[in-house]
């Protein structure tokens, strides 16, 4: 039976929340984590088809060497993040994506010997096709949480164009300060990446959106833009701090007062949104020839020395915790991601992946889940104008097709519905489960 659910044309006024920031690491400079002795590199770290091994057990690999790929253009490759020997190809439980997948295990030789990097002095000397190829070959995915292949977002349809580019410097989830530090410490690379994106899509309007709780980042990027070839073309927009403003649909509403249609994308209204750290990774790939093998992560909460760390993808989370002085005695939960959108893990050997921006240690008081009391709090709270309680009910009952008809794909998994639920129902987790089941049915 089909659901009689009306598909609205517009989302209406988004709902915003003031959530405690806990930005305790905002002034902590990025520290480089020592190289791990062993990495576990999942082959599917992006939205789209997976990669497959292009090496075999026993092979010796260099840092930056491609170890997984596919002929699918919608796929991105993965690379060795240390030099050493491939010791195993295992089945790996990805708790964030809630699925089993392959992962490649590499034991370090302690040398960190790199592939030869093909640098470029002037990206203007490259064609757009060459730049897109470099971005794909580097394995870059969106680092704002969507893990969507960057080259796909930057590939324009035939006879199509994107009028507006928004560089997203909003980092609204509590504890997370990785993008903030990237803007401060790699600002030149961020703006270089922005120039490359601008070359690819030739937008009429360029905005850099940064929350107003980051005045140092606003000032720093403003100075860099004024000295660049983009001066006069870029508008830096201070955004009032609110949650979940970092979501691209809501950011478009805040910056442009335009609405992304239901079940649609930003490009449907001729807008492209890219994260600041993604722009930095694009610079690394195109100018420096570096594949996406490392990222900045905030380690916060119940650790003795919270930090922002530059880490190699595939590093076990235990390495991050040990470097940050170990966990406090009252920690009972470890989360990949922030407190609103993260996923709890139990195995400290779990590797950090391309989509990880935070490792959070918590003291969580477990509250018993109760029956929905139909208070409507989650409906009022949903910025995407969905019915979270209905989606959770369908998911609990295994009615995943009904979830699809209720526009579950429009859910941004911000976690606010769970946050406001007086019955302690893990609504967001039910929604994630349903999305995963629907993807398996495709």
| C-alpha span between 285 and 46 (Å, rounded) | 17
- Please tell me the distance from the alpha carbon of residue 148 to that of residue 46, in angstroms, as a whole number: 6
CA neighbours closer than 13 Å in the CB half-sphere of residue 122: 3
Question: What is the predicted pLDDT for the residue at 48?
Answer: 85
Tokens of 135: 């971005």
Output the DSSP codes for 294-348.
Answer: EEEEEEEESBSS-EEEEEETT-BHHHHHHHTT-B-TT--EEEES-TTT-EEE--T
Q: Which residue has the tokens 């030099």?
A: 83
Q: Rounded to the nearest 10 degrees, how much is the dihedral formed by the CA atoms of 318, 320, 322, 328? A: -90
Which positions ≥6 away from 423 have C-beta within 8 Å? 369, 370, 371, 372, 373
pLDDT tens, residue order, the chain (442 aa) = 334 444 444 455 566 778 889 999 999 999 999 999 999 999 999 888 889 999 999 999 999 999 999 999 889 999 999 999 999 999 987 776 667 889 999 999 999 999 999 999 999 999 999 999 999 999 999 987 778 999 999 998 777 789 999 999 999 999 999 999 999 999 999 999 999 999 999 999 999 999 999 999 999 999 999 999 999 999 999 998 889 999 999 999 999 999 888 878 898 899 999 999 999 999 999 999 999 999 999 999 999 999 999 999 999 999 999 999 999 989 999 999 999 999 899 999 999 999 899 999 999 888 899 999 999 999 999 988 899 999 999 999 999 999 999 999 999 999 999 999 999 999 999 999 998 888 777 6
In angstroms, the CA 73 to CA 234 distance is 31
pLDDT score of 379: 92
* Per-residue confidence (pLDDT) for residue 262, from 0 to 100: 80
Structure tokens at 150: 């960057």
Cα distances from 352 to residues 312, 363, 374, in angstroms, run 8, 21, 38
Residue pair 171/211 in contact by the 8 Å Cβ criterion: yes
- How far is it, in rounded angstroms, from Cα 278 to Cα 179? 10
pLDDT tens, position by position, 245-302: 999 999 999 999 998 888 788 988 999 999 999 999 999 999 999 999 999 999 999 9
Alpha helices for 94-209 (secondary structure H) = 128-137, 150-153, 178-185, 187-201
- Domain ranges for the chain, please list them: 33-117+293-362, 123-286, 377-441
Cβ–Cβ under 8 Å, residues 45 and 78: yes
Nearest to 48 by CA among 162, 131, 153: 153
Query: 56 and 123 in contact (C-beta within 8 Å)?
Result: no
User: CB neighbours (10 Å) of residue 433?
Assistant: 18
CATH class of 123-286: alpha beta
Grouping H, G, I as helix, E, B as strand and the rest as coil, residue 192 is helix
Q: What is the mean pLDDT of the chain?
A: 92
pLDDT tens digits for range 383-418: 888 999 999 999 999 999 999 999 999 999 999 999
Based on its alpha-carbon atoms, the radius of gyration of the chain, rounded to whole angstroms, reads 21
> Is the pTM for the entire model greater than 0.75?
yes
- Is 384:412 a contact under the CB 8 Å cutoff? yes
Q: Which tokens belong to 231?
A: 């001066």
At 203-222, the pLDDT tens digits run: 999 999 999 999 999 999 99
Q: Which DSSP helix (H) or strand (E) runs through 151?
A: helix 150-153
Integer angstrom CA distances of residue 23 from 82, 174, 176, 243, 300: 31, 6, 7, 14, 9
Helix/strand/coil percent split, the chain, to 5: 30, 20, 50
Asked if the bond preceding 244 is cis, omega within 30° of 0, the reply is yes
Summarize pLDDT for 231-253 with one digit per residue, the tens. Answer: 999 999 999 888 999 999 999 99
**Nearest CA to 42 among 85, 118, 99, 83?**
99
CA distance linking residue 100 with residue 123, whole number of Å: 39
The pLDDT of residue 187 is 98
């Amino acid at each position: 039976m089909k659901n009689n659910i009306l598909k609205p044309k517009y989302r209406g006024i988004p709902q915003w929340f003031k959530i405690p920031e806990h930005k305790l690491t905002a002034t902590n400079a990025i520290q480089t984590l020592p190289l791990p002795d062993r990495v576990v590199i999942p082959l599917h770290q992006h939205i789209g088809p997976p990669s497959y091994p292009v090496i075999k057990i026993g092979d010796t690999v260099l840092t930056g060497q491609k170890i997984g790929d596919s002929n699918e253009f919608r796929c991105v490759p993965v690379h060795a993040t240390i030099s050493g020997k491939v010791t195993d190809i295992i089945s790996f439980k990805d708790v964030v994506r809630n699925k089993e997948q392959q992962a490649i295990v590499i034991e370090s030789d302690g040398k960190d010997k790199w592939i030869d990097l093909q640098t470029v002095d002037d990206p203007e000397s490259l064609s757009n096709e060459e730049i897109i190829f470099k971005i794909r070959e580097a394995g870059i995915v969106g680092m704002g949480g969507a893990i969507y292949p960057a080259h796909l977002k930057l590939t324009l349809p035939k006879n199509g164009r994107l009028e507006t580019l928004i560089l997203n410097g909003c980092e609204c989830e509590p504890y997370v300060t990785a993008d903030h530090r990237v803007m401060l410490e790699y600002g030149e690379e961020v703006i270089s990446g922005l120039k490359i994106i601008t070359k690819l899509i030739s937008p009429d309007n360029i905005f850099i959106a940064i929350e107003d709780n980051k005045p140092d980042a606003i000032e720093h990027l403003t100075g860099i833009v004024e000295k660049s070839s983009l001066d006069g073309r870029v508008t830096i927009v201070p955004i009032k701090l609110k949650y979940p403003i970092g979501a691209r649909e809501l950011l478009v509403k805040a910056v442009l007062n335009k609405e992304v249609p239901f079940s649609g994308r930003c490009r449907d209204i001729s807008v492209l949104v890219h994260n600041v750290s993604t722009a930095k990774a694009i610079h690394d790939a195109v100018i420096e020839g570096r594949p996406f093998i490392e990222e900045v992560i905030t380690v916060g909460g119940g650790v003795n020395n919270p930090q922002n760390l530059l880490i190699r993808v595939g590093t076990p989370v235990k390495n991050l915790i040990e470097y940050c002085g170990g966990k406090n005695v009252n920690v009972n939960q470890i989360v990949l991601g922030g407190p609103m959108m993260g996923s709890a893990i139990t195995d400290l050997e779990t590797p950090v992946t391309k989509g990880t921006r935070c490792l959070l240690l918590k003291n969580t008081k477990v509250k018993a889940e109760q029956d929905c009391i139909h208070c409507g709090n989650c409906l009022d709270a949903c910025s995407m104008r969905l019915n979270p309680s209905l989606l959770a009910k369908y998911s609990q009952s295994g009615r995943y097709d009904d979830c699809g008809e209720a526009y579950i794909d429009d859910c941004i998994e911000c976690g606010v519905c769970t946050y406001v639920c007086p019955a302690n129902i893990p609504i967001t987790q039910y929604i994630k489960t349903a999305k995963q089941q629907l993807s398996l049915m495709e």
